[in-house]
Amino acid sequence: MYTEKVMDHFTNPRNVGEIENANGVGEVGNAKCGDIMRIYLDVEGDVIKDVKFKTFGCGAAVATSSMVTEMVKGKTLDEALEISNAAVAEALGGLPPAKMHCSNLAADALHAAIKDYHEKQEKKE
């Protein structure tokens, strides 16, 4: 049902945790399935220096959260914004159709964290 890569990111998730004083935090949830994801960003200049996540949900939700953090570390904010839901699922070698909504949450949480970062920067100006 799940690819080896999905199982690897579920059983050995990368970048789990919180970043104290994160520059940007994004949280999204899906009431239908109960999954909740929170992504924390540490941004220097325009580059994501560190990223962590906390996810409450199914194995696919944990795997997509882990994968999206791996995909954005070291990228610029603009590059990170280009990461789509489909790209997250593709990076994991695909997800079962019933679990595709989980990849949507991962990209959405990332985009929400970047939006939060930009809003915080505007307030500083």
As a whole number of angstroms, the longest Cα–Cα distance in the chain is 49
Annotated active-site positions, please? 33, 102
Rounded to whole angstroms, the Cα distance separating 5 from 20 reads 29
Q: Tokens standing for 64?
A: 């997509």
Rounded to whole angstroms, the Cα distance separating 37 from 23 reads 17
DSSP state of 46: T
Residues 117 and 43: beta-carbon distance below 8 Å: yes
Tally of CB atoms within 10 A around 16: 14
**Kind of pairing, strands 24-30 and 35-44?**
antiparallel
